[in-house]
Amino acid sequence: MKGLRIAGVLAVWFVTLVSGYKLPGSRTFAQDWPQWRGPLRDGRILGVPVPTTWPTTWKKVWQLKVGEGHSSPVVVGEIVYLFTREGEEEVVRALSLSSGKVLWERRYPAPYEVNPAAHAHGKGPKSTPVVASGKLVTLGISGILSCWATSDGNLVWQHRFADRFPETSPLYGTAMSPIVVGDRVIAHVGGHNRGALCAWDLETGKQLWEWPGDGPAYSSPILVELHGKPQLVTQSQRFCLGVDVSSGKILWQIPFTTQYDVNIVTPVLWRDLVIFSGFRRGTTAYRLRPSNDQWTVEEVWHTREVSMYMNTPVVCKDRLVGLAQEQRGQFFAMDPASGRVLWKSEPRQGENAALLVLGDYVLALTTGSELIVFDPAAESFKPLARWKMADSPTWAHPIWTIRGVLVKDWDTLTLWEPGANGDRQ
């Protein structure tokens, strides 16, 4: 059967289907970072030149106090969209990428009581917004789903789910980042043990379908094409599953549980394998094949040597690269075909790291606010550059743009550019 189409063909198909963005080669497409982990939700930076030499210092272009939260900024064109918290309100902003000027700001009441086990992470939000077709979609820590006009910030529609579920967010707060596929928004709402994966019309907010089979995970969905058939690959509280985007039909489903019900790691696609990992349960690759109206799921490999907790890995140079939770954080490179671990770094690298791929290099921003560059194909972990980018924890993904690097720390957003006599080194 026809296998997975990847590289340029998949990129064109995915970006066109998901949000109607221009095709590769377009300046707008090349610079956009419109959703969780970028245009393809795989951490890969497209259309931004790879430096011939890495900067020694960084100069602050602008910095703005924006509020708390782990939500990552997103960028479309010359506008940055940000979702944060100030007091008991969740705040949505549009900023100028070049100057940091606030173009518009909207806020709404969002009281939230933090689970004591997650106190160190604050009151969110944790979910990253998505921009598509002139709309910005946010999902708050208590499960408030909102759609905003990107032009002026006006609220297009909003859903709250207290009338449908006894709890409107999982135990440690909503963290999954919604996805837009064509004309529909897809998100998993509800709380522990009871929720629904749903699709809504992007323009009107009308619900199109739902799967009420489980509570939400903290993981975010990806869109893939396997054997010529697109599907959403995602996790719920207790399962990994594939979903038909148009109807919500479950194509396949496998049990996948973790201690404390913390399915957090976003699935990763490599060729025709879908790779999952979870808290203290190792890493597993599955091969999915259609058979008449059914899909078969084959476990290709499983390793207990590497478990990922909150870190989602990336694929670079045909290596799966991530931060294992063992030994208080170890970077690793793995052969995605076999699950064989090729190298591990020294321990104590950080509680978490946000990973990106730029050309043949991996960029890792640790929660200790250190940005590290390394070649995953090296024989061992050998940083080529490392910089201290903030003075408070950095849980959000950085964005590497043609103007510099956007870094969201605990409560500020900063644009850094390479420069002599810089503020960071």
Mean pLDDT of 37-56: 94
**Mean pLDDT for the chain overall:** 92
Nearest to 381 by CA among 310, 314, 330: 330
Instruction: Please tell me the predicted confidence (pLDDT) of residue 421.
Output: 62
Please state, in angstroms and rounded to a whole number, the distance separating the CA atoms of residues 107 and 91: 4
pLDDT at 182 over 70: yes
Mean pLDDT of 174-191: 98
Q: DSSP label at 265?
A: S
Tell me which of 25-29, 87-91, 132-136, 259-263 is least confident: 25-29
Task: Give percent above pLDDT 90 in the chain.
Answer: 87
Please state, in angstroms and rounded to a whole number, the distance separating the CA atoms of residues 294 and 374: 42
Asked if the bond preceding 267 is cis, omega within 30° of 0, the reply is no
Burial (0-12, 13-18, 19+ Cβ within 10 Å), 44 = middle
Domain boundaries, the chain: 7-418
Please state, in angstroms and rounded to a whole number, the distance separating the CA atoms of residues 73 and 38: 10
Q: Are strands 184-191 and 294-303 parallel, antiparallel or unpaired?
A: unpaired
Question: Quick one: tokens of 303?
Answer: 């390793």
Mean pLDDT of 222-228: 94
Mean pLDDT of 188-211: 98
pLDDT at 206 over 60: yes
Instruction: Please tell me the predicted confidence (pLDDT) of residue 293.
Output: 82
Strand ranges (E), 140-202:
145-149, 155-159, 179-181, 184-191, 194-201
pLDDT band for position 146 (cuts 50, 70, 90):
very high
Instruction: Please tell me the predicted confidence (pLDDT) of residue 22.
Output: 34
pLDDT tens figures, 54-111: 999 999 999 999 999 999 999 999 999 999 999 999 999 999 999 999 999 999 999 9
Q: Are strands 399-401 and 268-270 parallel, antiparallel or unpaired?
A: unpaired
pLDDT tens figures, 347-378: 999 999 999 999 999 999 999 999 999 999 99
Mean pLDDT of 399-411: 96
Question: Quick one: tokens of 48?
Answer: 């931004």
Instruction: Please tell me the predicted confidence (pLDDT) of residue 232.
Output: 98
Count of residues for the chain?
425
Residues 6+ positions from 175 with CB-CB distance below 8 Å: 70, 124, 126, 127, 141, 218, 264
pLDDT band for position 419 (cuts 50, 70, 90):
confident
What class has domain 7-418? Answer: mainly beta
pLDDT tens figures, 231-258: 999 999 999 999 999 999 999 999 999 9
Question: Quick one: tokens of 1?
Answer: 């059967």
Please state, in angstroms and rounded to a whole number, the distance separating the CA atoms of residues 310 and 400: 21
pTM of the model: 0.92
pLDDT band for position 292 (cuts 50, 70, 90):
confident
